[in-house]
Amino acid sequence: MRGLFDREIYLDIETLRLSHEVDGGWSNIRGFGMAVAVTWDKENGFRRWFEEDARKLINELEQFTKVITYNGNRFDIEVLRAYAPVDNVLKSSLDLLEELHKLLGHRVKLDQVATETLGTTKSGDGIKAVEWWRAGEKERVVKYCEQDVTILRDVHEHGRVKGFVMISQRQIVVQWD
């Protein structure tokens, strides 16, 4: 049950670099660099955060009782670790991918959950976002990131209200408050 003073924020990050461009690859996610982050919360709606805002973003995330991501514990929050300590953010993290992994025994892409649960599909992926960023299509990357946050928020809300999400044509019971 959510408390009266619970505050939630949704987060997604797109990066400057890809795994093969960073020493250590996937074991050095903090080396990917933050191109843009998008957050959404009830009070402020969508907000955009760029690399120079990373410390302010971390401070902002610490003000919320729940930071909701999809693969955020392994990826998004780890990207932020390059800019400042993130332990307080991790304490309030609700990573929907981790929650689904526990239930299913395997990882599932957000796009699949969104398609089957909401009938919505993503407009790209992280590799495309890096390509767009480098091509100077920064607004396209921001819009893509906003779309991911919208999907994340809507999948979370569907699970919270209806008690399930759809994966592989099955109702997966979730308890997301």
Give the chain's domain count. Answer: 1
**For 15-50, what is each residue's pLDDT tens digit?**
999 999 999 999 999 999 999 999 999 999 999 999
- What the block records as the tokens of 68 is 């909701």
CATH number of residue 99's parent domain: 3.30.420.10
pTM of the model: 0.93
- The dihedral of CA 92, 109, 25, 146: what is its sign? negative
Flag whether 166 is in a domain.
yes
Domain residue limits at 152: 8-173
| Residue 69, SS3 per DSSP | strand
Flag whether 62 is in a domain.
yes
pLDDT at 63 over 60: yes
**For 76-129, what is each residue's pLDDT tens digit?**
999 999 999 999 999 999 999 999 999 999 999 999 999 999 998 777 778 889
Which of 121, 125, 122, 119 lies closest to 166 in space, CA to CA?
Answer: 119
Flag whether 3 is in a domain.
no
